[in-house]
Structure 1
Amino acid sequence: MSGFIGVDWGTSNLRVWRFDEAGAVIGHRSGGKGIAAVTDGDFAGQLAPLIGDWADGATPIILGGMVGSRNGWLEVPYVACPADPAAIGGGAIPVETDLGPAWIVPGLSHLAPTGLHDVMRGEEVQIAGAGVMDGIVALPGTHSKWARLGGGTVLSFRTFMTGELFAVLKVHSLLGRLMVEGPADEAAFLAGVRRSLADPALSGLLFSVRTEGLFGGIPPEGLADYLSGLLIGAEVAQGMEDVSASVTIVATRALAGRYAVAVREAGAGAPAIIDGEAASANGLLALGRRILEND
């Protein structure tokens, strides 16, 4: 099989890799515009400067992420869970481009027994690249995903708006008014984690960010970390479901470290940690091979 180009195109980021015939990375670049900044619909024009010298009109291009969303280059239907890599690859849709033959990877959807719908785009690529067969894969971020896998198949997942909630509460709510920037306060973070693991009433606990500041329980420099601990602890409490399950965290090392603390506090074993960018590259390689083999 020939080599190909892999593209991770999110809302705010654009990263590309060049894979040779053996699957080795022979080029990697980042830059350009995320899909939110492409207002004229010229996605090919935004991609060309990053891959122009790689694209010869014949080299395949595999695109993952929000580029396949309603606001992206082409809306690609979600693949419903349970979904294995073959189903994900089989759901890829070709897109016309002068750069070369291209396919967009689909996202995943899940309908919980409660009737709750959920979706992901881009994280399914990272899950494929994480190489987990059984257990839980946590993908922290603005909208964190917790996926349950069995036999390499994504059985179910759930989204938590932890990162977005933290930003909104810190900047736009009463809770941020006593906060002062300072060095990381791991003690304050751990206090927040432990409280939310012990008490599921998160909306009540959140006000304690204000009262801990008012009564000096936590210094102003530690209030943001305390808020982070409350939110991450609550996410872990719901995302874990079964503390006996193995957990793999896909994220930057700093963010993964925070989640690892919360996972251990919840009573689970030490989680495996995989760099998010590496997972994206590995996932594009794995899914790209399936797509091209079936073409």
Structure 2
Amino acid sequence: MSENYIAVDWGSTHLRAWLYRDGRCVDSLQLPYGVSRLVEQSAREVFDKYIEPWRIREAMPVVMAGMIGSDAGWQPVPYLACPASLHELSAQLYEVAPQVWIVPGLKTSRNVMRGEETQLLGAMQLAPAACYVLPGTHSKRVQVANGAVSCFSTAMTGELHHLLMNHSLIGKGLPEQRDDNAAFRAGLQRGLDSPSFVNKLFEARAARVLGELPAESVSDWLSGLLIGAEVMAMEPAESVTLVGGETLCLRYKQAFEKAGIAANEIAGDAAFQQGIRSILDARR
């Protein structure tokens, strides 16, 4: 396999891609054309317009992961059933065009993931662990044993925060939100104390109306509540490794530390790109 290739993380809201030459990243792009935002374009049309130009000089391999493999993406790609060895991903790639492949997702009897399996493969090599947490719109907790994903769970923490802030009474009429770590910590403690948080959600409004919470800090308080509740609802673990963006991982790290759980972290982009490299290396 050539050291020249393209790695693509194509999710629901964004498309991100990295161009590698001689094993080194020489260019990248980020576009607001996730599979839920294609509008009147097809995934293939977006690919041809923005990624294919990188292949004019050489028809280098392209490996894509994420929602691009869903029924809303380019082509539905089957899930691999857990327990599944992540090292088998390279043998199960789905070719949608010459030298253009999509990585399969993973499934259990009640859960699915797409994109995180590639991050996990990279994280297992860069930061081996038995339990990973991938914060995000749909946060994942993943148990790994002997190089295989044995089980995982999903919490819609990020999506729930967005819905409550934008489509509920909690967020109605609020001014522009600001960073407020004190408010986040207060919400976090409330969530840690009350993992069954449904009857605590209205406090985000009540505390603001009663003058106990600044109107500009509702978002951070709510974020703390939801993350704290998520962490306390997880199955116990002595330690976890967080895989994701720096800002969100820091919030989860605070939550785990307050819960008495050691937490390490690794950048989600670094894990994803290492996962793509590993998949290509396995095909040599």
State the TM-score, normalizing by the size of structure 1.
Answer: 0.87
**Aligned partners of 1:51 and 1:180: how far apart in 2?**
39
Within the candidate set 215, 219, 222, 1:224 is matched to 219
**Aligned partners of 2:135 and 2:242: how far apart in 1?**
8
Deviates more, 1:187-196 or 1:57-66: 57-66
Equivalent residue, structure 2, for 1:279: 271
Equivalent residue, structure 2, for 1:13: 14
Indicate how the Cα distance of structure 1 residues 93 and 180 shifts in structure 2: closer, same or farther if over 3 A, else same: same
**Aligned partners of 2:100 and 2:160: how far apart in 1?**
36
**Aligned partners of 1:37 and 1:173: how far apart in 2?**
23
Kindly report the root-mean-square deviation, in angstroms, between the aligned alpha carbons of the 2 structures: 2.1
Shift of 1:277: 1.9
**Aligned partners of 1:272 and 1:19: how far apart in 2?**
28
Shift of 1:242: 1.9
Indicate how the Cα distance of structure 1 residues 172 and 54 shifts in structure 2: closer, same or farther if over 3 A, else same: closer
Equivalent residue, structure 1, for 2:49: 49
Shift of 1:90: 2.5
Shift of 1:41: 6.5
State the Cα deviation string for residues 137-168 of structure 1 (Å, max 9, x = none): 11111111111112332111111111111111
Q: What amino acid is aligned across from residue 116 of structure 2 in structure 1?
A: E
**Aligned partners of 1:224 and 1:148: how far apart in 2?**
30
Alignment of 1:96-175 (within 5 A): 96=97, 100-111=98-109, 117-131=110-124, 132-175=127-170
Secondary structure of 1:223's partner?
Answer: helix
Q: What amino acid is aligned across from residue 119 of structure 1 in structure 2?
A: V
Indicate how the Cα distance of structure 1 residues 12 and 200 shifts in structure 2: closer, same or farther if over 3 A, else same: closer
Indicate how the Cα distance of structure 1 residues 275 and 181 shifts in structure 2: closer, same or farther if over 3 A, else same: same
Shift of 1:182: 4.3
Q: What amino acid is aligned across from residue 54 of structure 1 in structure 2?
A: W
Indicate how the Cα distance of structure 1 residues 186 and 24 shifts in structure 2: closer, same or farther if over 3 A, else same: same
The answer to whether 1:242 aligns with 2:240 is no
Indicate how the Cα distance of structure 1 residues 32 and 212 shifts in structure 2: closer, same or farther if over 3 A, else same: closer
Q: What amino acid is aligned across from residue 160 of structure 2 in structure 1?
A: L
**Aligned partners of 2:259 and 2:26: how far apart in 1?**
41
Q: What amino acid is aligned across from residue 270 of structure 2 in structure 1?
A: A
Indicate how the Cα distance of structure 1 residues 261 and 47 shifts in structure 2: closer, same or farther if over 3 A, else same: same
Number of residues paired by the alignment?
Answer: 280
**Aligned partners of 2:32 and 2:215: how far apart in 1?**
38
State the TM-score, normalizing by the size of structure 2.
Answer: 0.90
**Aligned partners of 1:29 and 1:181: how far apart in 2?**
29
Shift of 1:54: 3.1
Equivalent residue, structure 1, for 2:61: 60
Shift of 1:233: 0.6
Unpaired runs of 5+ in structure 2?
Answer: none
Within the candidate set 157, 172, 180, 1:177 is matched to 172
Equivalent residue, structure 1, for 2:92: 91
Secondary structure of 1:163's partner?
Answer: helix
Indicate how the Cα distance of structure 1 residues 238 and 288 shifts in structure 2: closer, same or farther if over 3 A, else same: farther
**Aligned partners of 1:37 and 1:108: how far apart in 2?**
24
**Aligned partners of 2:2 and 2:260: how far apart in 1?**
46
Query: Does the 8 Å contact 1:126/1:283 carry over to 2?
Result: yes
Q: What percentage of residue pairs aligned between the two structures are identical?
A: 39
Within the candidate set 227, 233, 256, 1:263 is matched to 256
Equivalent residue, structure 2, for 1:190: 185
Q: What amino acid is aligned across from residue 258 of structure 1 in structure 2?
A: R
Secondary structure of 2:108's partner?
Answer: strand
State the Cα deviation string for residues 3-62 of structure 1 (Å, max 9, x = none): 3222111122112223345x4333323336222233557433311333334325642221
The answer to whether 1:253 aligns with 2:246 is yes
Shift of 1:214: 2.8
Equivalent residue, structure 2, for 1:114: none
